[in-house]
Amino acid sequence: MGPLRPESLAEDLTPLPRQDAGVAWPTEHWPDADPDPIDPQRFDSLTQALFELPDGSGVTYALLIFRNGQQVYQRYAAGASAFYLQYSWSMAKSVTQALVGILVRDGRLDLYAPAEVPEWQQPGDPRAGITLDQLLRMRSGLAFNEDYVDGGASDVIRMLQFDGRHDTGAYAAAKPLAHEPGTHFSYSSGSTNIICRILRDVVGDGASGMLRFMQQELFETLGMRTPTPRFDTSGTFIGSSFLFATPQDFARFGHLYLRDGLWEDRRILPAGWVDYARSCSYLSDEEGYGAHWWLRPDRPDWFYASGYDGQRLLLVPDKDLIVVRCGRTDADHIAPVWDNLYALAELF
């Protein structure tokens, strides 16, 4: 494909910060610096609150903060450490978005052409026109119930743990349309795994080829040595949910996005790809969405990768800030965690 279509990008995005010439890229290790928050006492109070959760509210395993390309805070609990691999859950969706971007960069994928999905190719199939752009923006129109509690009603549980587990992309691709493509936002792990099956087929050589591609084109270049993706039996990366890594490596991935897809002297993601990721395609009072990245409605310049149980990779361009939180807190108790996390980011 050619350049990203300008109509897909917001015009008022906060510019992404550049790497300071005096700060080393964190390819080998993160440079350290003092946090220097606006209010040190409140900083201490908020970080303490993020670890001392009320009874029944789960646990925070890791909290890390990076500013201006340097690590300014790290703390671990409940047996975790800097070497402890953490669950991504749906933070992996944002990694999937980067993998798509690399193939777009190389001219091997077109965001706006009909997606190459075998199940949709029969004459007259209304799904035939669904594009990668619509899948990335969760506007495919496919019926998919993203329920994490009711196993009988949930498509995501069936896809990951039961009858769809051997070919997660095929399970999701078999779903009928519930809405005309492009007209309705519906968050779907199935959409991500359809994308990942397309990636598998474009890259070739099944899981081995996909793992090699991920390592050579993304992880190793950034100095990410711990990412451990999970594949289904068909060789598809389960990019909706399963990528394990240390918090520092999740932060390296976030740093790539804060640096507009550049790393040292190399362009990893095509020009405009990060702006595409953070351009709003859905907005409510509670949440916003771009292209496999979430947005804050009240702070549209902030964007983040988010996972089940309260995993979060928060990027704040105007502060050149990354906040990583890994833990296990269910949806009924997560709101105060987010409030404290956002308040913490405001202190810089």
Q: Rounded to the nearest 5 degrees, what angle is found at the Cα of 299, between the Cα atoms of 51 and 94?
A: 70
Are 90 and 306 contacting, i.e. CB atoms less than 8 angstroms apart?
yes
Residue 300: its pLDDT value, please? 86
How far CA 224 is from CA of 27, 214, 237, 247, 277, in Å, comes to: 8, 11, 18, 10, 21
Tell me the average pLDDT across 209-232: 98
Q: Is pLDDT at 97 greater than 70 in this prediction?
A: yes
Query: Using one digit for the tens of pLDDT, what is the confidence trace for 108-166?
Result: 999 999 999 999 999 999 999 999 999 999 999 999 999 988 767 899 999 999 999 99
Of 293, 297, 294, residue with least CA distance to 283: 297
Local confidence band at 2 (pLDDT 50, 70, 90 cut-offs): very low
Global pTM value: 0.96
Query: Using one digit for the tens of pLDDT, what is the confidence trace for 240-283?
Result: 999 999 999 999 999 999 999 999 999 999 999 999 999 999 99
Residue 7: its pLDDT value, please? 46
Query: Using one digit for the tens of pLDDT, what is the confidence trace for 274-325?
Result: 999 999 999 999 999 999 999 999 998 999 999 999 999 999 999 999 999 9
Tell me the average pLDDT across 80-88: 98
Query: Using one digit for the tens of pLDDT, what is the confidence trace for 157-208?
Result: 999 999 999 999 999 999 999 999 999 999 999 999 999 999 999 999 999 9
d(CA 173, CA 190) in angstroms, rounded, equals 8
Per-residue tokens: 110: 């077109």
Are 171 and 153 contacting, i.e. CB atoms less than 8 angstroms apart?
no
Please report where in the chains the tokens 């990076």 appear, as a residue: 66
Query: Using one digit for the tens of pLDDT, what is the confidence trace for 321-339?
Result: 999 999 999 999 999 999 9
Residue 12: its pLDDT value, please? 78
Q: Is pLDDT at 6 greater than 60 in this prediction?
A: no
Residue 148: its pLDDT value, please? 86
Phi, psi of 313 (to 5 degrees): -125, 100
Are 269 and 261 contacting, i.e. CB atoms less than 8 angstroms apart?
yes
d(CA 267, CA 132) in angstroms, rounded, equals 22
Query: Using one digit for the tens of pLDDT, what is the confidence trace for 8-66?
Result: 455 579 999 999 999 999 999 999 999 999 999 999 999 999 999 999 999 999 999 99
Q: Is pLDDT at 5 greater than 60 in this prediction?
A: no
Residue 152: its pLDDT value, please? 73
| Amino acid in position 134 | Q
DSSP 3-state assignment of 312?
strand
- Cα torsion 12, 313, 239, 176 to 10°: value is -50
Q: Rounded to the nearest 5 degrees, what angle is found at the Cα of 181, between the Cα atoms of 179 and 114?
A: 150
